[in-house]
Amino acid sequence: RGGLLYRQAGSPESAAQMLVRAAKLLEISIPQNAIGLYLKASETVGTEDRPTEAAQHMETAAKLMVRVKELDRAADTLTTTLELYSEGGAGAAAGRVVLNAILVQL
């Protein structure tokens, strides 16, 4: 709810920071909720034309998806992450995502 209010007020950076902080708190106890928050943070910074930062949040969400055994969803998320890294020109990070995607597919 707070992230939505920040976004409506024109502060997407604050919204993304708040969403990431909340997600970090939930990673261990309720990883499914943390996944949703990381994806919302990615969407929020993605609207600000920052694909690399959006990809970082999506990559974190994908790692949590693997942890909770949502492998198909993680593979789809990693594909989207790769596209965002490519759009942002982050070659090394894109290589890491390709490796992670291969491992998830196995």
Query: For residues 94 and 85, is the Cβ–Cβ distance under 8 A?
Result: yes
Q: What's the rounded Cα separation, in Å, for the pair 40 and 80?
A: 14
pTM over 0.75: yes
Kindly report which listed range (2-6, 8-12, 27-31, 34-38) carries the lowest average pLDDT score: 2-6
User: Model confidence over 54-103: pLDDT tens digits?
Assistant: 999 999 999 999 999 999 999 999 899 888 888 878 777 777 788 888 88
User: 71 CB contacts (<8 Å, ≥6 apart)?
Assistant: 65, 104
